[in-house]
Structure 1
Amino acid sequence: MVYKEKNDTIAAIATPLGEGGIGVIRVSGADSIQMVDKIFLAANKRALADRRSYRAVYGKISDPKTKNIIDEVICILMREPHSYTKENVVEIQCHGGIMPLRKILSLLLEWGARLAEPGEFTKRAFLNGRIDLAQAQAVMDIIKAKTDASLRVATGHLSGYFSSNIRQIRDALLEMIAHYEAAIDFPEEEVDNIDNIQVMERIEELKVKINTMISSAKTGRILNEGLVTAIVGKPNVGKSSLLNRLLHSDRAIVTDVPGTTRDSIEEYVDVDGIPLRIIDTAGIRQTDDEVEKIGVDKARSYIERADLVLALFDGAKAMTAEDTKIIELIRKKNAVVVINKSDLVQNLDESYIRKQCSDSKIIHISTIQEEGIKELVETIKEKVYAGNVVYNEGEFVNNIYQLEALKKAGQHLEDAMKSLDNDIPEDLVVIDLRSAWEKLGDIIGDTVNEDIIDEIFSRFCIGK
């Protein structure tokens, strides 16, 4: 595949704007060292161009036109190909204020650099062969990681665990393709006879590997994006108290007055490594209060779109019409029934809940005594991992692009199996095998087209 070459030098601020100890401007390209030398003067007057790679050089940035000093800085020099982009790279570390960062970047642009596009440094690393597409996407996943588990998924992808599995399947397919094509193109040569039964068995093995990866996609997505979790129940049942226990802080207002939470509160919480986008909804009940009524309607909509529903009931009180309504709403959802106030005498008809929500696990907790919270956390973990092996999260599929490519590759292998089973000519079997090989290549960037490459990197932040 041929990509458009961009040999120009790019520059961008690589740290968040605002006040901080240091800020970093990253410069990459063939002329990056000479370009920085135009505005940088080392303390010992020696130019960056005269220095070896991997050197940190102290000096000052000044405007060549006015001779005004902008800031004291340290320049980190990395010569090609041993840099992030495999190009000449200079990283300028200055004080972390908005003005020095912007002024230094402005000087670089004046002297010929171009402002980097979103994700262009990582895109160059990919195009120059330092990382593959799955690894490139993992860079942003690392930046966005919110828990240890999501970080392990991202670093595993960046380290190449996921790509290695894809390459192993592609290598096996390529071996089959080459054997078939040799037999088709050179029938007079002494090419080993192809045992279609053995080929079908091998294809089945590859399908199992692909299906195993596909089955990890839900877990991978949750660890990457967060599990949308709605806490629902009637007013004053303890929803906000549960949210506070999971957050380990008093985020939500807790009172004995029913209807305190009139709107939904959404927070990210790290539950034993799992990122939960947890929503504390308004209590579901009949009300004449217009504001509260809007909150109740929103609570119902959150139940519909949530990945997981934590349905709270008051164990110390008898079943009410509101409780029955909640049971109806969660009956066909992925839900955990949580019976609160286990420290009090129990009056709730639990048998009715078990009958109506037979697929939902029931957990007893006390938000006051903090009992049952660990069991609830373990139940959430079980639902997230859903039987997937946890020893290497880096092998999980973690975005829709990878998932769709795997599904299409699996379908092409299924078509190849059907062709072999029906004695379809071998050249048609090769078409299906090659299509599967290409779809898997899209995941690591070997066969993907340039428009998709541009679209993927457009989601990155500038400076990365």
Structure 2
Amino acid sequence: MEFDTIAAISTPMGEGAIAIVRLSGDQALPIADRVFKSPGGRPLLEAASHTIHYGHLIDPKTEQTVEEVMITVMKGPRTFTREDVIEINCHGGLASVNRVLQLVLNQGARLAEPGEFTKRAFLNGRIDLSQAEAVMDFIRAKTDKAMNVALNQMEGRLSKLIKKLRQEILEVLAHIEVNIDYPEYDDVEEMTHQMLLEKAAYVREEIEKLLRTSQQGKILREGLSTVIIGRPNVGKSSLLNALVQENKAIVTDIPGTTRDVIEEYVNVRGVPLRLVDTAGIRETEDIVERIGVERSRQVLKEADLILLVLNYSDAFTREDEQLFEAVKGMDVIVIVNKTDLPQKLDMERVRQLSQNMRLVTTSLLKEEGIDELEEAIASLFFSGSIEAGDMTYVSNSRHIALLNQAFTAISEAIENTKAGTPIDIVQIDLTRTWEFLGEIIGESVQESLIDQLFSQFCLGK
């Protein structure tokens, strides 16, 4: 497999102490050697692998100094892409890093496509597809727990389990093929329905275990879309500020202060929340506020978790009743706020309506009840603590979909085996299971899907 040499900026754009321009390919070292001059004059081509060298970049056309740099030399196959890799550490200004990139492009390198370095690592066999996808999960992780799950997947925990299951299925398929093609071999044990059932049951059980972790894994990867709703002036914006621990939303005593939807990511006990503060849902003649109310109703439909806020010092209203009606059947935590004020809220009515919901009382002004609220959020989606070291968590939507398809296929194989269907017919469902599992790690996947997956990566990775 032959590739040209690619280059890209691998650090975020903007001002910083250091920026890195990365090259990968068989011409990475010669290109760097043509533009690099060390104080001792030693060529980079003679440098040992995995060493770093101080010097200057020189434009061969003008002989002018372009940058003062440190260059890291890493020779394949002991690199991320399994190709020769050069990393040029230069000053982190926009002008300097772009000038360095342009210099290596002028020497024959090609600008890398998004995710092309990781794609080469996959195509060159250093990592499989699930590990490649975990690279972006690791970069985008918003909590320590999400990062640990991605790290385990990068290190191949999911891959090893999938490969083990595929090997189990492959051995069964091979056994069946031998029985069919060479029935005269007396020393080959015949694959019976009972033997097939035991093998298939084991595979299904392992797939089921993975699927049981998928909800938690998906939450850790993507975060919970969490919407704060309630009548105006019940403390929704105060709740957002309390969870974010920063004054992101304007808080006043004037109803209708929040006119639009405000979004913010927050880490609650290791659970990433995409927190949405909505405009108070009520009938209003104010055109701007009315648009905000409509947007609030729309995000409510797409939410994973609802935080319904009530005012302890206000009487229970028809609008409150309508909010309870709107969130029926959803995951809801009811928050009774402003408990530092005299009670006017009918708590008995609130308890009746929130029988299947969590109920928490708070005084956000006095910072009371926030710990109880965070515990309620975490326990609603994670029973006990989630430890990435103990289990293999599936977090990727593509993997979850393929596991569900594999589960269906292996279940059909089990049902057909119990019904006494000939083993060579059951073999079809086993083969489908094997193929679905193979798509997770990239053993049986179309090139178009690979291109689509890596196009979602950031440039330089």
Residue in 2 aligned with 1:152? 148
What TM-score comes out, normalization by structure 2 length? Answer: 0.96
Residue in 1 aligned with 2:296? 299
Contact 2:193 2:420 in 1 (8 A): no
Residue in 2 aligned with 1:425? 422
Residue in 2 aligned with 1:83? 79
2:359 aligned residue (351, 358, 362): 362
Q: Cα–Cα, structure 1 residues 393 and 108, in superposed 2: closer, same or farther, change >3 Å?
A: farther
Q: Which runs of 5+ in 1 are unaligned?
A: none
The one-letter code matched in structure 2 to 1:145 is A
Say which SS state the counterpart of residue 269 (structure 1) adopts. strand
Q: Distance in 2 between matches of 1:327 and 1:104?
A: 59
Residue 107 (1) aligns with residue 103 (2): yes
CA shift at 1:145, angstroms? 1.2
2:35 aligned residue (34, 39, 53): 39
1:444 aligned residue (434, 441, 446): 441
Q: Distance in 2 between matches of 1:225 and 1:89?
A: 32
Residue in 2 aligned with 1:403? 400
Contact 1:152 1:393 in 2 (8 A): no
Q: Distance in 1 between matches of 2:174 and 2:343?
A: 70
CA shift at 1:113, angstroms? 1.1
Over the aligned positions, Cα root-mean-square deviation in angstroms equals 1.6
CA shift at 1:7, angstroms? 2.2
The one-letter code matched in structure 2 to 1:313 is L
Q: Distance in 2 between matches of 1:211 and 1:413?
A: 11
Say which SS state the counterpart of residue 365 (structure 2) adopts. coil
Contact 2:148 2:388 in 1 (8 A): no
Residue 123 (1) aligns with residue 119 (2): yes
Contact 2:128 2:441 in 1 (8 A): yes
Residue in 1 aligned with 2:139? 143
Deviation per CA, 1:360-401: give whole Å up to 9, x if none.
111111111222111111111122325785353872211211
Matches within 5 A, 1:183-332: 183-189=179-185, 190-332=187-329
Q: Distance in 2 between matches of 1:278 and 1:63?
A: 50
Residue in 2 aligned with 1:381? 378
The aligned length equals 460
What TM-score comes out, normalization by structure 1 length? Answer: 0.96
CA shift at 1:123, angstroms? 0.6
Residue range with higher mean Cα deviation, 86-95 or 289-298: 289-298
CA shift at 1:266, angstroms? 0.8
Identity of aligned residues (%): 44
Say which SS state the counterpart of residue 17 (structure 2) adopts. strand
Residue 21 (1) aligns with residue 10 (2): no
Deviation per CA, 1:10-47: give whole Å up to 9, x if none.
11111112111111110111121111101111121111
Say which SS state the counterpart of residue 38 (structure 1) adopts. helix
CA shift at 1:191, angstroms? 1.0
Say which SS state the counterpart of residue 20 (structure 1) adopts. coil
2:177 aligned residue (153, 176, 181): 181
CA shift at 1:160, angstroms? 1.3
CA shift at 1:6, angstroms? 3.7
Residue in 2 aligned with 1:57? 53
Say which SS state the counterpart of residue 284 (structure 1) adopts. coil
CA shift at 1:124, angstroms? 0.7
